Amino acid sequence: MRTTVIVCSIALLVMLAAPALAASSREIVVEVTSIAAAKRPASERGEAAVELDPRLGPFSKNLLSLFAYDSYTFLSKDRATVEFSDATVLELPEHFSIEVAPEQLGRDGSDMIEMLVTLFREVPRGERGRGTPEREVILRTKIRLKNGGTVLLGGPPIRAGVLVLALSARG
Amino acid sequence: MRRSCRFERYLTAFADGELPEKLNRKVEAHVGRCAACASELDSIRASDRILKSHGAPAVSNDRWAQFRHELKLELDVVDRESRRTAKIRETRPVHAPVPRRSYALAAACVVVLLVILTVGPLGVGPWRGGTAAASNECIVDSIESLAAGYTPMFFSSQDPEMTVIWVFSEEVEGGIRGEGPGAK
């Protein structure tokens, strides 16, 4: 009787958890935090050496130790769920957009998400003449990111300074 | 076959005057109505009279000793048999109750299941995006820029663990101090 109860419990657990486990292997959650990094003129600098938006708390250690900008402003946070072998496009501030296409998770038994990341910038019509694509590829990179980890992408100029993106993914 | 009356078992004690008062009255009233019990009671009383009219048989001390010895042996056999039966009942229950541990295990499974379904599969907690606490190991397999005026590169730091993919732009080259993205 006791064995029957145990076996039934385990069977129920597996049966009900299977869809969730299967779903976890089919798709990932992507989150992109957009940050404006800038250097302020000496006249605009306040008492604080570095001005950091409190909403950027999770990335403060990385931003302050890796870069020498003295102002970091939170612009937006976007999140999407995307299946493997599919792609999702997130619209970012300042006419940028990012496409994330996860390819696989856990190749060679590692807990890494393999994905193709493309950063686009919208080019206004007529800026480069007729026939020019509306979006230009600023960056295309293929990466393997630790499941649940973050990678920083940045460099393109924006009005407020330089665009920095914190791209996180979890499968 | 004679149908037995439910008062029949009290008749011997009634005849000997050993019943409690209340039950004694009930049996007495019943005997007045039940012919079978009245007949049985008469029979018991007749037997008593016969037994009382004869004296107790004389039994020698040896006979009493033998009787006690045989009685003890009989009782030992009965006692052993009853113990064996009780042991079998204890070790081989027909309908054993389900142990509490089984219920606890089942409850634990349900809790784990709910956690998985609520918090998320294979997760240790609700994910709130990237954090400095997470492992940020990243391997860059390829990198390129198809737009004019941009030069991509990447670098990694160990403490904190982070990979930075940076696109140098001719437009802001003078705006960044140092050689890289605000390199210190």
Decide if B146 and A136 are in contact by the 8 Å CB cutoff: yes
Whether the Cβ atoms of residue B35 and residue B29 lie closer than 8 Å to each other: no
Asked if residue B181 belongs to a domain, the reply is no
Question: B135 vs A149: CB contact, 8 Å cut-off?
Answer: yes
Please report the pLDDT score of residue A109 as a whole number. 75
Q: Once rounded to an integer, what is the mean pLDDT over residues A132-151?
A: 86
From B33, B53, B73, the end of a domain falls on: B53
Please report the pLDDT score of residue A21 as a whole number: 55
Structural domain for B144, as ranges = 136-175
| B149 within 8 A of A128, measured Cβ to Cβ | no
User: What percent of chain B is predicted at pLDDT more than 70?
Assistant: 71
| pLDDT tens-place string over residues A73-114 | 999 999 999 998 889 999 999 889 999 999 888 777 778 899
Q: What is the pLDDT of residue B179?
A: 41
Does A20 map to a domain?
no
In a domain, A14, yes or no: no
B69 falls within a domain: no
> Does the beta carbon of B177 lie under 8 angstroms from any beta carbon of chain A?
yes
Cβ contacts of B111 on chain A, cutoff 8 Å: none
Among B98, B117, B178, the residue with its CB nearest the CB of A2 is B98
Examine residue B40 and state whether it is found in any structural domain, yes or no. yes
Among the residues of chain B, which ranges form H helices? 11-15, 21-33, 35-53, 61-91, 100-119
Q: How far is CA B140 from the centre of its chain?
A: 56
The whole-number pLDDT of residue B27 equals 92
State what percent of residues in chain A have pLDDT above 90: 34
Q: Is residue A153 one of the residues assigned to a domain?
A: yes
Q: Is A161 on the interface with B (CB under 8 A)?
A: yes
Average pLDDT value for chain B = 76
| Structural domain range at position A114 | 27-170
Residue A119 confidence (pLDDT) above 90: yes
* Any domain includes A11: no
Of B143, B167, B182, the CB nearest to A68: B182
Count of structural domains, chain B? 2
Does residue A19 sit within a domain?
no
Record: contact A66-B122, CB cut-off 8 A: no
pLDDT band at B174 (very low <50, low <70, confident <90, very high): very low
Q: Which residue of B has its CA nearest to A14?
A: B113
In a 13 Å sphere around the CA of B127, the CA atoms on its Cβ side amount to: 21
Is there a contact between A16 and B113 if contact means CB atoms under 8 Å apart? Answer: yes
Answer with the one of B34, B53, B72 that is the final residue of a domain.
B53
Q: What are phi and psi of A36, to 5 degrees?
A: -105, 120
Assess if residue B37 is contained within a domain: yes
In a domain, A21, yes or no: no
Residue B91's pLDDT band (cuts 50, 70, 90): low
What tokens were used for B121?
A: 């599969």
Instruction: Assess if residue A81 is contained within a domain.
Output: yes
- Residue B27: inside a domain, yes or no? yes
In chain A, how many domains are there?
1
**Between A134 and A24, residue with greater pLDDT:** A134
Q: How confident is the model at residue B176 (pLDDT cuts 50, 70, 90)?
A: very low
A86 belongs to a structural domain: yes
pLDDT for residue B96 is more than 80 = no
Residues 83-102 of B with CB under 8 A from A: 96, 98-99, 101-102
How much is the pLDDT for B1? 44
